[in-house]
Amino acid sequence: MDSIDSDCTMGTGESQSNHAASSSSELIIWEIEVPKQLVGRLIGKQGRVVSFIKQNSGAKIYISTLPYTQDFQICHIEGT
């Protein structure tokens, strides 16, 4: 499989306390700029790649539908 992050730049990771979870776990949020030409590869056919990543990691992953630029879309990843 080709690397989907070859041209990606990582956004600043943000940490927040997750009040719903135990006090020892933190919610980590990553916002990653994904070049528009690679968004389809990240999602995969019928969403298989992103579903596989979600199931194996337990993270919440979604791609912003409103692009910040014409060249990139933002991929949000949330997990503990």
**Of residues 62 and 70, more confidently modeled:** 62
> Quick one: average pLDDT of 11-20?
42
74 touches 63 (CB < 8 A):
yes
DSSP state letter for 3: -
Q: For residue 72, how many other CB atoms are within 10 A of its CB?
A: 19
Determine the pLDDT at residue 32.
Answer: 93
pTM over 0.85, yes/no = no
**Of residues 21 and 46, more confidently modeled:** 46
The tokens describing 64, both together, are 């912003």
As a whole number of angstroms, the distance between CA 22 and CA 12 comes to: 24
Determine the pLDDT at residue 68.
Answer: 66
